[in-house]
Amino acid sequence: MEQSAMNTLPRHIHDERNGLDYTLYGDYYLPDLEVPPTPPLNHWGRTVFNRLQEHHPGRFSRMLLDGTLYPYCHDIGQQAQERFDALMQGYQRCWGINEALKSCDPMGWVGLMNLARAEAESIILPEILF
């Protein structure tokens, strides 16, 4: 008797109260949920994501559940990358880091680029994390 009643259950149903669609899996109706597409995160966006996850778990969970976490981290990452690029261009211009230096003193060029990168990161990290 139960077997015939189970065969008559519709495969898909719609709940008017909450607006969700459900699909029958075995004996249970499970909601048809889709994860929205997430924008890709760059280095800075992943840094913000990890910082929120480790140090602000409540805010992280709230933002994850309401769908604002990835757009937020993406936006912060884009802003930080633009700031980083501007700082690197400024350091290259002020410190004379150019192709001529690269061709005549490659190790000096690498050293100055690493220093410029470290300086730019030391400026950006406190801005985006704190």
Q: What is the pLDDT of residues 44-71, one digit of tens each?
A: 999 999 999 999 999 999 999 888 999 9
Pick from 73, 26, 65, 16: which is nearest to 45 by CA? 73
Specify the length of the chain in residues.
130
Domain ranges of the chain: 6-31, 43-129
35 or 16, greater pLDDT: 16
Supply the pTM of this predicted model.
0.72
Q: For the chain, how big is the Rg over CA atoms in Å?
A: 26
Secondary structure (DSSP) of 5-63: HHHTS-SEEEETTTTEEEEEETTEEEE---PPP-----HHHHHHHHHHHHH-HHHHHHH
